[in-house]
Structure 1
Amino acid sequence: MSPPETLSLSLGPVLFYWTRERYADFYCEAADWPVEIVYLGESVCSRRRDMKLDDWLGIGRELAESGKQVVLASQTLIESEADLRDLRKLCDNGEFVVEANDQSAVQRLAAAGVPFVAGAALNLYNPAAIGVMARAGMQRWHAPVEMSRSDLARLLADCRAEGLEQPCEVFAYGHLPLAWSSRCFTARRHQKPKDRCQFVCQKYPEGLALRSQESEEVFTLNGIQTLSGACQDLRHEVGDMAEMGVGVARLSPRAEGMAEVVAAFDAARRGELPAADPLALVEAEICDGYWHGRPGMDNTRAVRPS
């Protein structure tokens, strides 16, 4: 059965630290991809200053001319007055909707009466919290990345019963953002202090793999952010998402192979994806455990020897 055609695809903000040239090339290609929403901006570390707000606004205008809905993602961990100044400029940009990833952004946007998107880091787990955000001006919300399919289905049903109709977004592809810290783990790996890190995270355009003693990729280090070691891949679940009322499937950018990822999800939402198989879209370990109520690093579609 073909899924409803209401599920949109979004391209999340780039979580890793790329060069200006890589950003420019990536979004030039993304303008032609079948995604309806594109998130822009530095949401991880304020020390990553290659791209200024004006640079993101310029890319956003070009994407908007290509028919994309552009959203500016705010920083998730606010640590200083300088971070707050940058946040104020972002919230007051006057052109594009902002994804609030911190309560400071929510407060600024709500006080100004400006609609916003609620990011996953706001941890909206129940209708009461979603209702508070809706009254503050939230127009779309991102489900917590560890929420299972059954819990989300129940939450969406409860929201509908209470008249909360704001669309829900699900993290459908990419390394799952799990935690943020005031320490920079990538700098520490290179024995450098955070304030003199020499931007070593730019050496890892898809993050630094952290392996267990058994050589299993448990986490991915991305500066102050910790991500899952494997990529969540829910392309075979998009039909179910649409049926249960999810409005947007988010695809988190990777340095290589992203066009193929987008094409596969676009095919999936049109009901044209082949039967499930254990092959990854790109060369990466795959996980989907959280969605199925299991440990997040599980791959329920992996073929295991009998």
Structure 2
Amino acid sequence: MKISLAPVSYCWDKVTMEHFYQQAANSQVDTIYLGETVCSRRRLLKFNDYLELAVMLKAHGKQVVLSTMALIEAQSELTELKKYVENGEFSIEANDMAGVQVAKQANLPFICGPTINNYNRTSLDLLHSMGMSRFVMPYELSKAWLNQVINHPNKPNFEVEVMGHGFIPLAHSARCFTAKHFGLSKDNCDTICQQHPKGILAQTQEQQNLLRLNGIQTQSAASIDLTQELMVMEQMGVDYFRVSPSSLECLNIVNALANELSSNTEDKVCSPQLSTANSQACNGYWFGQAGLQQV
């Protein structure tokens, strides 16, 4: 099993992004996803900027994947999508069926992102016939569901990736909740989300952390933490353990996970220091329970 780094979900400025990926280039992560997946109005980095980062990361020995938008709403976004698919060098992660269709038309293999609703083996086999080489399991599905997919009578011919650490994207909307929070319209948002590099925490009336507003994306308030399941996933046959970045510190987790996987110990058990087990962590979905629970 390998460690992958999901695309940054937040609106970080160009200097911060470049610094982050310079650090990632020197980390032990195997595969790095790049691209704006949330909102096309975030223009601090453009397509050519991501391409430059991709070339730099490839020179450091990383496998690079360009990630596409999760919600295509306009012709301009479709045009941008085609630029990603037709980049000529790097694989793509399709996060919308438009990305799947464009890749299929170009006869290019693709990775199916977690925002495409794959809920059974039949849909996965269909996507594989269209060119899917790997799929990232939707966040709300469980270990038991994945076992059924992997242990199907016909073994899958595609790779499997599971998000194991980071804030969970729960939904995407045509409305921008961050702009609405500040009394701004979506079309004149001033890219206000760049002032909130981890989104805006939303609480219940009882002051309990509930959600995280990130532009048009709604995330979990707590970070999923499946680091204790690392070896379970490896034994199941999961190919990639995904870490979703919310700060530079996530690279410490990436390196610790990579060290754990490369350990020669016969009975490997995930080291306690890998876990962020506390009130800000959750793992319920993996165990078939409410996502915000910590089992």
Q: Shorter chain as normaliser: what TM range?
A: over 0.9
Structure 2: 5+ residue runs without aligned partners?
none
Q: Confirm or deny that 1:197 pairs with 2:189.
A: yes
Within the candidate set 283, 289, 294, 1:294 is matched to 289
- Alignment of structure 1 residues 132-143 onto 2, 5 Å: 132-143=126-137
Unaligned 5+ runs, structure 1: 1-6, 301-306
Partner of 2:224: 232
Q: Mapping of 1:95-114 within 5 angstroms?
A: 95-114=89-108
Alignment of 1:52-201 (within 5 A): 52-158=46-152, 161-201=153-193
In the alignment, is residue 280 of structure 1 matched against residue 272 of structure 2?
A: no
Alignment partners' CA distance in 2, 1:112 and 1:79: 21
Offset of residue 163 of structure 1:
4.1
Task: Report the CA distance between 1:275 and its aligned residue.
Answer: 4.3
Pick the aligned partner of 1:251 from 238, 243, 247.
243
CA distance in 1, matches of 2:256, 2:182: 37
Alpha-carbon distance, 1:289 to partner: 0.6
Once the 2 structures are TM-superposed, how far is the Cα of residue 33 of structure 1 from its aligned partner? 0.9
1:30 shift after superposition: 0.3
- Is the contact made by 2:283 and 2:294 (CA closer than 8 Å) also made in structure 1? yes
**Partners of 1:227 and 1:77 in 2: CA distance:** 15
1:22-41 equivalences under 5 Å are 22-41=16-35
| Counterpart Cα distance in 2 of 1:71 and 1:249 | 15
- State the percentage of identical aligned residues: 37
1:3 corresponds in structure 2 to none
Q: CA deviation at 1:52?
A: 1.0
Give the letter aligned to residue 115 of structure 1.
P
Change (3 A) 1:235 1:148: same
The answer as to whether partners of 1:231 and 1:284 remain within 8 angstroms in 2 is: no
Q: Is the 8 A contact 1:143 1:168 kept in 2?
A: yes
Alignment TM-score, normalising by the size of structure 1: 0.91
CA contact (8 A) 1:99 1:117 kept: yes
Counterpart AA for 2:146? L
8 Å CA contact 2:65–2:92 kept in 1: the answer is: yes
Whether 1:221 and 2:213 are equivalent positions in the alignment is yes
Q: Is the 8 A contact 1:267 1:273 kept in 2?
A: no
Instruction: Please list every run of at least 4 consecutive aligned residues from structure 1 whose deviation after the TM superposition is greater than 3 angstroms.
Output: 270-273
1:242 maps to 2:238 = no
**1:266 matches 2:262:** no
- How many residues were matched structurally? 290
Deviations 1:130-154 (A, max 9, x none): 1111111111101111111111111
